[in-house]
Structure 1
Amino acid sequence: MKKIGGLGIGAILIGLFVVYGIYWYNSTVGMSEGLANTWANVESSYQRRNDLIPNIVATAQKYAEFEQETLTAVIEARSNATSINVDASDLTEENLAAFSKAQSSVSSGLGRLLATYENYPNLKANENFKELINELSRTENRINVERNRYNDAVGTYNVKVKRVPGVLFASILGFEPAAFYQADEGAEVAPDVKNLFGSN
């Protein structure tokens, strides 16, 4: 049996490096797509909340004495939040911070609205409003679940692109670490919509 010379060993090592690089690339693309999907679910959950707001506001506006300033603040916060979109290929800390800040303003506005409307028993008894608030509660829960799933996906992906030898392939092939979703201070407390109607 012939001995493998230095060039042969070098060729084998290069071949192994290329094969592993292809494997790493394909698996990382899969993770990247999974990350994009989890981010899309985060945005979709927030969009669902934003879609509920016009109906909540419209119902509250039927009660003439309801605080218009509170409703205006919610509408403006929603408008700002819906204007900010983060592309899944650009999940940087700056972009996610801007998105989070806008969504936190919506949460704050909804919190004030829910606290204020307690003073209006006729509104609180409105069946349509009850259902809207119940749907809002379910949506807030979904937002929390999807943010956690996104952060789990970020953790897995970032380990892949930061560990050796993956970090070498990541720098060559252009894979950047993704940012975690970090809500603004106080934003972890969603509007309290669970106990507004007792057992309903």
Structure 2
Amino acid sequence: MTMRVISTAIPDVKLIEPACFGDERGFFFESYNERAFAALVNGGQSVRFVQDNHSRSARNVLRGLHYQISQAQGKLVRVVAGEVFDVAVDIRRSSPTFGQWVGALLSAENRVQMWVPAGFAHGFLTLSESAEFLYKTTDYWAREYERCIAWDDPSIAVEWPIEVAPVLSEKDRHGSLLLDAEVYP
């Protein structure tokens, strides 16, 4: 088996642990396998990824909660250096888990990935000195559709593991409250 899938409190969001094979020379694992992903994560349906992104962030940088109101992106995310706290928020108004969030520690050491389907806002907080974050997306980035929900929206109440003010971009400082945000039907 190439991966182990872990359910979260929001059924559509999954954590994925790849099988890792290592010895004194190093290690090997499949970070993505289309057949296994479709069978184990996505209910037998294949997913088409169109873009790979790579970001690097310093400690206490918080990115998010981002989404695109059109050209919604599913994201398969992982960390290749350092550690982050990764969050997905359900912003599908018709969903029974609308406004709820799940979070997980993703690190180069644990190799855990998170599947964040389209219809979710996504963000992460860098916990290590720095972190390199990779993510595959199911649609292309489009500035005109990009939206941001406030990382500290009290109606969502994400429990970010941070004791100091996070480092935010201008866009993230001005995120909307979920109550006022454009969301999915």
Alignment TM-score > 0.5, same fold: no
As a proportion of its length, which structure holds more strand? 2
TM-score by length of 1: 0.23
As a proportion of its length, which structure holds more helix? 1
Between structure 1 and structure 2, the one with the greater Rg is: 1
TM-score by length of 2: 0.24
